């Protein structure tokens, strides 16, 4: 008779994980899949925020100062158009700096670009919200189904009910609720943080573009400047 090889650390963890998934049943499998999707979305959004750095605003004061002095070219040279706020500010400066600017067209273009960039920042936040909402509900559903099975077993046992069997069924049922909450809590936190970040970017867009209009140099037509200020 051969001797079974001892399990390594990774094999032991994998075995425990398989047992955990089997005890939890289909609900835990679904929650695990949802957690993987949520993690992928969170990492993707974090990478997007790192690349674009949409809230970076330390250089905007200098840009607006140059623009107010009539140095449009120097102001544009500082801007990084890969950032949404910089892009809108650049469009504002270019539009206001043109001798024959069209107020209505500039307003529409700023609205279009702002909406597009904010939608890009909000992309995939809705699936994250759905996962955060459904996870605890699925966990509760798994608990209810597990409790039904546990009480069915207790009814079948009649007068010879084994408390250990009943308690085992109950903790297995409660396991799905714990998993659902474990998935939902960090997802809710990350979703709210990202939503708030997008709101701050939108506010920064509005503030920066409005200041570009109100600090336009004297060379810009006064009547057009007053009218276009509402585009922000």
Share of the chain above pLDDT 70, in %: 75
pLDDT in tens, 6-40: 556 566 565 565 665 666 678 888 898 999 999 99
User: What tokens does 182 get?
Assistant: 């474990």
Task: Name the helix (H) or strand (E) containing 16.
Answer: helix 9-24
In the DSSP assignment, the letter for residue 100 is T
Spatial separation of the C-alpha atoms in residues 210 and 213, rounded to whole Å: 5
Query: How many CB atoms are located within 10 Å of the residue 96 CB?
Result: 22
pLDDT in tens, 75-132: 888 888 889 998 898 888 888 877 556 767 887 888 899 999 999 999 999 999 999 9
In the DSSP assignment, the letter for residue 148 is H
Spatial separation of the C-alpha atoms in residues 33 and 101, rounded to whole Å: 53
Q: Which of 16, 20, 27 is nearest to 134 (CA)?
A: 27
pLDDT in tens, 161-214: 666 666 666 777 788 888 999 999 999 999 999 999 999 999 999 999 888 888
Task: Using CA atoms of 172, 174, 179, 183 in order, give the dihedral in degrees to the nearest 10.
Answer: 170
3-state SS record for 168-221:
HHHHHHHHHHHHHHHHHHHHHHHHHHHHHHHHHHHHHHHHHHHHHHHCCCCCCC
């Amino acid at each position: 008779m051969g001797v079974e090889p001892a399990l390594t650390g990774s094999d032991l963890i994998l075995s425990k994980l398989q047992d955990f998934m089997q005890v939890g049943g289909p609900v835990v499998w679904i929650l695990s899949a949802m957690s993987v999707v949520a993690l992928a979305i969170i990492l993707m959004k974090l990478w997007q925020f790192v690349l674009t750095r949409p809230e970076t605003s330390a250089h905007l004061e200098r840009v607006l100062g140059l623009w107010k002095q009539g140095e449009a070219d120097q102001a544009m040279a500082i801007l990084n158009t890969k950032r949404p706020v910089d892009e809108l500010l650049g469009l504002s400066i270019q539009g206001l700096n043109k001798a024959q600017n069209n107020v209505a067209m500039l307003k529409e273009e700023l609205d279009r670009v702002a909406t597009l960039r904010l939608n890009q920042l909000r992309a995939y936040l809705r699936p994250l919200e759905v996962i955060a909402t459904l996870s605890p509900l699925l966990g509760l559903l798994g608990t209810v189904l597990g409790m039904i099975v546990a009480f069915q077993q207790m009814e079948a046992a009649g007068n010879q009910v084994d408390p250990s069997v009943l308690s085992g069924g109950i903790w297995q049922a409660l396991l799905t609720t714990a998993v659902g909450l474990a998935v939902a809590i960090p997802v809710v936190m990350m979703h709210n943080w990202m939503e708030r970040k997008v709101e701050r970017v939108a506010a920064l867009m509005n503030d920066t573009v409005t200041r570009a209009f109100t600090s336009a140099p004297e060379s810009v037509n006064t009547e057009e400047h007053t009218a276009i200020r509402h585009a922000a």
